[in-house]
Amino acid sequence: MKPIGPLMWEHRLIEKMLAAMMRHIDHLEKSKNVNPLIIDIAVDFIRIYADRTHHGKEEEILFRDLAKKDLTPELKKIMQELLDEHVWGRKTTASLVAAKAKYMEGDREELSRIVDFARQLGNFYPKHIEKEDKHFFYPCQEYFDKDEQNRMLAEFWEFDRKMIHEKYNKVFEEYSKLSF
């Protein structure tokens, strides 16, 4: 298997999850009522799966190794755009979390900001994914020989293996600080 295989499977789940979030956001906008779970579950997915686990493998393994290769100016440009888009995704997710927190404190005007940030994320991910799937991953893998590809795949699995532990260590840290 090629290393871009697992990245592309992950893209399919990210697309499905964000499409489901968009349907929930349409409903939330009509009902004028925010069920916090709609936001919390989507934010957890975006932060832990789409960003930490998926973008983590892209940035910390694939892009790291590509940076050592003599890429075409076009691919270099796309890689920088992808990195910038990851940063934009993190900022927009933080804005969504902040808007939801204010709404939960009683500021009903935040509903429209919640809808707006969630839709920005729901519109962004499919475009970002398409750029990687159609214009980046295939030409990139040509820079790696079979051994390099196998090593990268092994590093991906090891990266994934650590994620569940990282996630639940973080859950413990947040949970232990809660006070009611």
Stretch that binds Fe ion, among 34-42, 113-121, 128-136, 137-145 (CB under 5 A): 128-136
* Cβ at position 29, least distance to Fe ion in Å: 28
Q: How far apart are CA 92 and CA 55, in angstroms?
A: 15
CA dihedral 77, 3, 92, 121 (to 10 degrees): 100
Where does 46-145 have alpha helices with state H? 56-57, 64-66, 73-104, 110-135, 137-141
Contact status: 132 vs Fe ion (CB under 5 A): yes
- For Fe ion, the closer CB: 19 or 104: 19
- For Fe ion, the closer CB: 29 or 65: 65
Q: Are 50 and 157 in contact (CB under 8 A)?
A: no
Chain positions 55 to 114 lying near Fe ion, rule: CB under 5 A, are: 58
- For Fe ion, the closer CB: 110 or 132: 132
Question: What residue ranges bind Fe ion (CB under 5 A)?
Answer: 58, 132
